[in-house]
Amino acid sequence: HGMEWNDGKIRQKPGPQNSLGLVKFLFPNSFNMYLHDTPSRSLFKEEKRAFSHGCIRVSEPKKLAVFLLENNPEWTSEKIDEAMNSGKEQYVTLRKTVPVYIVYFTSFVDDKGKLNFREDIYNRDNQLRDMIFAKNDAKSAQ
């Protein structure tokens, strides 16, 4: 599967069979999380899509790369294609930073006003519930 030793660790070489796809988008965060492509395009059609270990698959990574590099005129669409398909790892630092907000909702109201619930795959709801009720209990005691 294109694995190699890298500083005493095993890693998967860049290329079309890499499980992160042809491109990954790194951004500062304390969770070692990033956005990435995937060679498993069929996963986007699945109802449940939590196949990753916390990172986020991007369905149209080339479009995201074009958007992110719009302030770097030397990065044309063709150059982005070439870099994505070169099989070589390379880093590109954006000239202008772009804020990244990751939110996790297990309930939401859709565009028809209907309340929707989803499975809490990261088990965050119980912690949030406990925090809310602890605050309410403290207020009630006053």
**Helix (H/G/I), strand (E/B), else coil: 51:** coil
Q: Is the dihedral of CA 87, 91, 94, 99 positive or negative?
A: positive
Rounded CA gap, 28 and 88, in Å?
23
| Contact between residue 54 and residue 36 where contact means Cβ atoms under 8 Å apart | no
* Catalytically annotated residue among 55, 64, 68, 92: 55
Q: Is 53 a catalytic residue?
A: no
Q: Is 12 a catalytic residue?
A: no
Please, are residues 1 and 8 in contact by the beta-carbon 8 Å criterion? no
Summary count for the chain: helices (H), strands (E): 3, 7
Catalytic residue among 20, 36, 37, 84: 36
Q: Angle at CA 18, nearest 5°, toward 14 and 24?
A: 70
Task: Say which amino acid occupies 71.
Answer: N
Active site residues: 36, 55
